[in-house]
Amino acid sequence: AQSVTQLDSQVPVFEEAPVELRCNYSSSVSVYLFWYVQYPNQGLQLLLKYLSGSTLVESINGFEAEFNKSQTSFHLRKPSVHISDTAEYFCAVTGSSGSARQLTFGSGTQLTVLP
Amino acid sequence: DTGVSQDPRHKITKRGQNVTFRCDPISEHNRLYWYRQTLGQGPEFLTYFQNEAQLEKSRLLSDRFSAERPKGSFSTLEIQRTEQGDSAMYLCASSSPGTTNYGYTFGSGTRLTVV
């Protein structure tokens, strides 16, 4: 079984400032890791994922996350945020073996970008 | 590829009534998942189908809940004798079995309000 802890429930930040959303996971097996973004009254959109290979993964809109196995972390970063980045962000984990592979989510971090 | 579709988007029902939600996954995805998301929380896994077979059910899925995927395409989630605690967003996701581009695609969800 896996679990995910998102350490900050709310992160306010000014526009054009850098941001880091923290995610730690627990698992007894190898994992795949994901970040999803959710805008109000919408479903989840995949932001980026780590499956294997390079531990630094990037999204098309400037976010990046680094898989750190020793610290069991997958923190999300962006060097300069925009108002449009305001949303709820969820970190999720699944085991990399086995057939079901349902996702286990953290409780989410509300990112609010202030003008 | 029109993504994952869920119907209805919103449902308001009286306590004790039965409700049914529908999910149409991406056509080439053989795996389909149902999740429930309550306010301020991350999605929680409910059940998983591979083709038409329901392979896993969470303990969250009480006897009042039933899910089907009769022909391995669309799926339905029925809640009988709804309770106020069933109020939540119900999310459907589908995934492809390949591991090189592994990912889940979520629908926009059905928001259930039990009054």
Residue with tokens 């400037």: A62
Residue A60: pLDDT band (50, 70, 90) is: confident
β-bridge partners, A13:
A113
CB contact under 8 A, B42 and A43: no
Closest chain B residue to A102, measured at CA: B45
**Residue among A79, A75, A81, A69 nearest A30 (CA):** A69
Q: Please report the number of interchain residue pairs, chain A to chain B, with beta-carbon separation below 8 angstroms.
A: 59
CB contact under 8 A, A43 and B102: no
Chain B positions touching A39 (Cβ under 8 A) are: none
pLDDT digits (tens, 9 = 90+) for B3-44: 899 999 999 999 999 999 999 999 888 899 999 999 889 999
CB contact under 8 A, A108 and B40: yes
Residue with tokens 């809640």: B79
- Report the distance separating Cα A51 and Cα B104, nearest Å: 13
CB contact under 8 A, B106 and A32: no
Q: What is the pLDDT of residue B95?
A: 87
Residue A101 sits at the chain B interface (C-beta within 8 Å): yes
pLDDT digits (tens, 9 = 90+) for B47-81: 999 999 999 899 888 899 999 999 889 999 999 99
Residue A33 sits at the chain B interface (C-beta within 8 Å): no
| C-beta of residue A77 within 8 angstroms of C-beta of residue B15 | no
Closest chain A residue to B54, measured at CA: A100
Residue A7 sits at the chain B interface (C-beta within 8 Å): no
Percent of chain B with pLDDT over 70: 93
**Residue among B59, B75, B43, B37 nearest B67 (CA):** B75
Q: Could you say which of A34, A51, A99 has the minimum Cβ distance to residue B50?
A: A99
Chain B positions touching A45 (Cβ under 8 A) are: 106
Closest chain A residue to B49, measured at CA: A100
pLDDT digits (tens, 9 = 90+) for A83-102: 999 999 999 998 877 665 78
Rg from Cα positions in chain A: 14
CB contact under 8 A, B48 and A103: no
pLDDT surpasses 90 at B102:
no
Give, rounded to a whole angstrom, the gap between the first and last alpha carbons of chain B: 36
- Report the distance separating Cα B95 and Cα B93, nearest Å: 7
Q: What is the pLDDT of residue B49?
A: 93
Q: What is the pLDDT of residue A52?
A: 85
Q: What is the pLDDT of residue A88?
A: 96
The alpha-helical segments, DSSP class H, found in chain B are none
Number of C-alpha atoms within 13 angstroms, CB side, residue B66?
A: 8
Report the gap between the CA of A80 and the closest CA in chain B (Å): 26
Report the gap between the CA of B53 and the closest CA in chain A (Å): 12
